[in-house]
């Protein structure tokens, strides 16, 4: 039996190595199930699982950098990571379902095993300290610009820079991608994460983002003293688990940030949806620019710098992710957001300024 345990351990080590070499989680899951059927019919499964999990843990400890790279790649490929309305970990959790069955655990817990289970690096207090430290930095003065100036078009495109950088989209025109394969991926993402499959649904979503969005929800969460007032069923623990982190965040920042500090998130996403829609053919060029004109004018009236707009975008993403992944999700999203803002605003290793640093914020538009 000892030889059998050793064989199982070796097979699990091979499985972990296969995962980190780039195989999809579905392929690895299928392989595991085959191994389970062929090798474990007559074994003491409790003991086998104990040995196997020990081997898996050892392998993960030895390949931390590989795990990080694989995790980033998996998350990058999730359509919900493009800031839709769905749980950004749903796809990853689903793909881990077969692993959960084998390990005898819950898919979300297994996902956390691969993503890391350390305490959040950022809590609400440290997030506030970081935001406030960035808000008081000296900013380049905004410029007055004519609506007909070509720089205004550049400015409008750069309102999508956060998600464009995150997803490696082009930022030199309305179209985000030219490769048909990537265009198909955007179309699939619009359907799965945004419920957009045609021009009418695109227009409806843009109206929603620019008239209500998460800003309306955030204001509502700030206004109530008891989170149970926000629940359909005050006795539903699952609903409370979703509502409570959002309510805590809204209450904590109630007197620390402007009430409308979610608008950069809503309008920045709206600008991105316009470009996605144009890329897949759901909206024409004229209507795309008309929407971007409206979005840009609103942002110019609310914010005075790329820093403020960017922080608003990141802050809104914290409120969104809180409903799905609580404090841990808030911390991870904030860390990612600050990294992206740094890349957009600061110089890189070669001294090249970020795209926002290359285009002045517009403080006033003229005809």
How high is the pLDDT of residue 20? 42
109 and 137 fall within a common domain: no
183 and 106 fall within a common domain: no
Indicate if the pLDDT at residue 113 is higher than 90: no
List Cβ neighbours of 16 (8 Å cut-off, separation of 6 or more): 55, 56, 59, 60, 63
243 and 299 fall within a common domain: yes
Highest mean pLDDT among 50-59, 104-113, 218-227: 218-227
162 touches 268 (CB < 8 A): yes
User: 5 pLDDT band (50/70/90 cuts)?
Assistant: very low
Separation of first and last alpha carbons in the chain: 83
Mean pLDDT of the chain: 80
Indicate if the pLDDT at residue 117 is higher than 80: no
Q: Which of 115, 139, 161 is the last residue of a domain?
A: 115
Q: Which of 81, 115, 149 is the last residue of a domain?
A: 115
Per the document, the length of the chain is 367
88 and 234 fall within a common domain: no
Indicate if the pLDDT at residue 98 is higher than 70: no
111 and 131 fall within a common domain: no
Question: pLDDT (tens digit, 9 = 90+) per residue, 30-89?
Answer: 554 555 554 445 445 555 455 555 545 544 454 455 545 454 544 444 444 445 555 554
**Residue of higher predicted confidence among 104 and 295:** 295
Q: Which of 115, 139, 163 is the last residue of a domain?
A: 115
204 and 239 fall within a common domain: yes
155 and 102 fall within a common domain: no
Indicate if the pLDDT at residue 245 is higher than 50: yes
CA atoms lying within 13 Å on the CB side of residue 72: 9
What is this structure's pTM? Answer: 0.70
- Domain containing 311: what range? 124-366
Tokens representing 296 are 């840009």
Highest mean pLDDT among 39-48, 90-99, 101-110, 309-318: 309-318
Which residues are bridge partners to 118 per DSSP? Answer: none
Lowest mean pLDDT among 111-115, 228-232, 252-256, 334-338: 111-115
205 and 152 fall within a common domain: yes
**Residue of higher predicted confidence among 138 and 250:** 250
Angle at the Cα of 50 from the Cα atoms of 119 and 2, rounded to 5 degrees: 150
Q: What is the DSSP letter of 118?
A: P
**Residue of higher predicted confidence among 242 and 312:** 312
d(CA 302, CA 305): 10
Exposure of 148 by Cβ count < 10 A (0-12 exposed, 13-18 middle, 19+ buried)?
Answer: exposed
List Cβ neighbours of 106 (8 Å cut-off, separation of 6 or more): 100
302 and 196 fall within a common domain: yes
Number of domains the chain is built from: 2
How high is the pLDDT of residue 238? 81
Highest mean pLDDT among 20-29, 31-40, 112-121, 215-224: 215-224
d(CA 28, CA 24): 6
253 touches 221 (CB < 8 A): no
How high is the pLDDT of residue 140? 85
60 and 136 fall within a common domain: no
Indicate if the pLDDT at residue 134 is higher than 80: yes
40 and 147 fall within a common domain: no
How high is the pLDDT of residue 202? 99
| 54 φ, ψ (degrees, to nearest 5) | -60, -40
111 and 128 fall within a common domain: no
């Amino acid at each position: 039996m000892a030889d059998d345990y050793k064989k199982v351990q070796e097979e699990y080590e091979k499985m972990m190595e296969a995962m980190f070499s780039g195989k999809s989680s579905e392929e690895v899951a299928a392989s595991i199930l085959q191994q389970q059927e062929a090798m474990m019919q007559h074994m003491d499964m409790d003991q086998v699982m104990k040995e196997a999990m020990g081997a898996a843990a050892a392998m993960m400890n030895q390949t931390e950098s590989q795990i990080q790279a694989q995790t980033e790649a998996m998350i990058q490929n999730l359509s919900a990571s493009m800031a839709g309305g769905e749980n950004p970990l749903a796809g990853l959790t689903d793909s881990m379902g077969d692993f959960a069955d084998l390990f005898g655990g819950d898919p979300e817990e297994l996902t956390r095993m691969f993503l890391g289970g350390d305490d959040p690096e950022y809590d609400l207090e440290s997030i506030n300290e970081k935001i406030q430290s960035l808000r008081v930095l000296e900013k380049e003065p905004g410029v007055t610009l004519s609506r007909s100036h070509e720089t205004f078009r550049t400015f409008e495109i750069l309102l999508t820079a956060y998600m464009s950088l995150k997803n490696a989209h082009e930022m030199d025109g309305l179209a985000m991608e030219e490769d048909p394969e990537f265009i198909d991926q955007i179309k699939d993402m619009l359907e799965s994460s945004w419920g957009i499959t045609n021009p009418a649904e695109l227009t409806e979503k843009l109206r929603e983002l620019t008239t209500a969005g998460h800003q309306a929800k955030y204001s509502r969460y700030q206004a109530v003293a008891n989170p149970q007032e926000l629940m359909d069923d005050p006795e539903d623990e699952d609903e409370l688990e979703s509502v409570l982190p959002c309510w805590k965040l809204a209450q904590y920042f109630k007197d620390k940030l402007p009430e409308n500090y979610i608008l950069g998130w809503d309008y920045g996403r709206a600008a991105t949806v316009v470009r996605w829609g144009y890329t897949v053919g759901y909206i024409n060029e004229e209507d795309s620019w008309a929407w971007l004109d409206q979005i840009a004018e609103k942002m110019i009236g609310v914010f005075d710098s790329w820093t403020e707009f960017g922080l608003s975008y990141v802050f809104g993403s914290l409120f969104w992710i809180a409903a799905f992944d609580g404090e841990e999700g808030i911390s991870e999203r904030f860390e990612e957001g600050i990294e992206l803002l740094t890349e957009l605003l600061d110089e890189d290793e070669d001294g090249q300024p970020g795209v926002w640093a290359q285009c002045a914020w517009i403080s006033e538009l003229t005809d």
